[in-house]
Chains A and B, each alone.
Chain A
């Protein structure tokens, strides 16, 4: 009996390996490997990469996509990337910041494979880094929220108080204040990028305190947007422009990543043999886009948001001094700016933000 069970298990394992046979390399010009930290259907961060790469595979003939979801940010990701290379992948997208060490190790072992890492750090010949700059793009979001709010209290749910998240909050408040001098932005930190129950509780807490527009910086905006929608308040989306579907009534607008043009360029570079690892950071108009407006947003608000977006796309930096933090000290003297390369070091909330960094 035991032997039979063993035979059956072996047969099943063999069958699984046969079904997951290596990708046919005949008419394939490039195999792209994508490593995701979450699910590709999250209406958020991972969905943005999946959609862009799917589009690349559709538009460039002979490009095939190998995707692995829910890969932990441990040595496991190294094995996943090695597996992709064994399947013939020549361009790999480690799409989460935590893959940094593993991806670099694999890249050093395989000089013939190109890597495009969604993060920062040094580049190598076969290892480029890239990311979208959301911070300045949050400025027009703040304009929309500042015009729509009736209570003059905006809410912002963030996972952890890292510089990039603080930058999003600050640009949001600066944008809101540019159209509404009385407005405040209240920040709630949940302590994780994907603790759904806490995100719901955080959104509820903000609404309890009278906020009527809620924005967020977490992995998937779905929970916050749905919680806010159920209580009849308004939301500003993040990570993916598709999140509008979650809030038919309260959606104002949102920002999402648009990676497709850059990823297409990378794929063509690898096919042509001219890939060189570079650091590429682009903001609104290139790697970041504004989502369609909700049905309830009046035309003048849409116009104000679009104007602010154009201003940012043309190079306006919301982080230009003089700026005071929310404890009253001058953090940026007149004329000084925080460039997008210094965003990770931001450690203060701008005047008008209700919250404490640490």
Chain B
């Protein structure tokens, strides 16, 4: 039985988009505090390899997921030590973190390549499983991370825009000096944002390795860390818009594969480019507009608060 393109597309978009959404939420929180983490690709890899390695070693994917989250947070805190405490250049430190992530993830994962693991358990409500078109797809057959992805996005939005802590984070991102003058501790808030962002990035990486593929391979994120940085811009630094963004980009990846599986007349080379063409288009259309501006202090280093 063949599935209608739209259903296959939605199913694929949700599977591919879950990991993108967690990573986007993490990077959004980090960027709201005024820090650009270009090393996200490396953090995702550390999450993916740690998650897989710990799952293989303990036999429990939940422990693996927890370890991945902690590893992601530690990687981001290391980055924070560089750019917050040592006031190092953010893009340069981010790229260094990325390459560190390449090496560290390869080291962590090397002994576990080829291990066979039981990934996160999937669960589909039985009344949905019997629907005609659902039965033959992955629709609604999700692990916990996919089921709670949208609630997590809402929670991130609520934390950023409805709590005193979120106000502080956003204030630091706009003007660390003003936040400091108002009695907030910019460095502490940035560390907190980085830790939470790292937790989410670790979870995003682990979703790839212990749920979506149940394998670990070097560089398995294949550039998703950079797509996420573009996604944060697409989402205008808003966790709720990130939901649509992650589905759109997950959908772009799913679309090219679904189209091929249906037998298209479009060159696979053109289809392959589609997610990246989308990225370029968004940066082109969104770029330079003041209304959609990033946090004012994004990527800059604040001095004169000691």
User: Contact residues of A with B, CB < 8 Å?
Assistant: 38-39, 41-43, 47, 69-70, 151, 155, 161, 186-192, 194-202, 204-211, 220, 222-223, 226-227, 230-231, 245-246, 354-356, 358
Contact = CB atoms under 8 A, between A and B. Distances in A.
B260 A198 contact: no
A201 B12 contact: yes
A265 to B, nearest CB: 28
Given A201-B257, A220-B215, A355-B260, A189 B114 contact: no
Contact of B214 (A204, A206, A223): A223
A196 B263 contact: no
Contact of A187 (B2, B213, B260): B260
A208 B137 contact: yes
Contacts of B1: 151, 210
29 contacts: A38-B217, A39-B113, A39-B218, A41-B114, A41-B115, A42-B113, A47-B114, A191-B272, A196-B220, A197-B19, A197-B213, A197-B224, A199-B213, A201-B15, A201-B16, A202-B260, A202-B261, A204-B257, A206-B261, A208-B7, A208-B138, A209-B261, A210-B136, A222-B114, A223-B214, A223-B215, A226-B215, A230-B214, A231-B138
Interface string B253-285: 110011011111111110010000000000000
Interface string B195-235: 00000000000001100111101111110100000000000
- Interface extent on B, as a size class? 35 or more
Contact of A355 (B257, B258, B263): B263
A42 B15 contact: no
A305 B260 CA distance: 29
B213 A196 contact: yes
Helix, strand, loop or mixed for chain A's interface?
A: mixed
A208 B217 contact: no
Contact of A356 (B116, B138, B266): B266
Contacts of B116: 245-246
A226 B116 CA distance: 9
Contacts of A223: 213-215
B113 A188 contact: no
Nearest to A199: B213
Contacts of A199: 213
Q: Which of A38, A151, A205, A355 has the most C-beta atoms of chain B within 10 angstroms of its own C-beta?
A: A205
A209 B2 CA distance: 4
Given A210-B2, A222-B215, A358-B267, A205 B15 contact: no
Contacts of B3: 208-210
A198 B219 CA distance: 13
A209 B133 CA distance: 11
Given A197-B220, A197-B222, A205-B8, 11 more contacts: A42-B114, A43-B114, A70-B106, A186-B261, A189-B268, A189-B272, A195-B222, A196-B212, A205-B257, A245-B116, A355-B263
Contacts of A194: 217-220
A196 B19 CA distance: 13
A154 B219 CA distance: 29
A120 to B, nearest CB: 24
Given A42-B114, A358-B267, A196 B208 contact: yes
Q: Which 5 A/B pairs are nearest by Cβ-Cβ distance?
A: A41-B114, A354-B263, A189-B268, A205-B261, A191-B272
A129 to B, nearest CB: 27
A188 B259 CA distance: 9
B58 interface: no
B10 to A, nearest CB: 11
- Among A187, A208, A209, the one with the most B-chain Cβ atoms within 10 Å of its Cβ is A208
A192 B222 contact: yes
A205 B260 contact: yes
A231 B214 CA distance: 13
Contacts of A206: 261
B85 interface: no
Contacts of B224: 197
A358 B269 contact: yes
B255 to A, nearest CB: 10
Contacts of A210: 1-3, 136
Nearest to A191: B272
A191 B19 CA distance: 20
B114 A356 contact: no
A197 B212 contact: yes
B268 A191 contact: yes
Interface in B1-36: 1-3, 7-8, 11-12, 15-16, 19
A99 to B, nearest CB: 17
B110 interface: yes
A328 to B, nearest CB: 14
Contacts of B7: 208
A357 B148 CA distance: 40
Contacts of A205: 8, 12, 254, 257-258, 260-261
Contact of B212 (A69, A189, A200, A246): A200
Contacts of B11: 204, 208
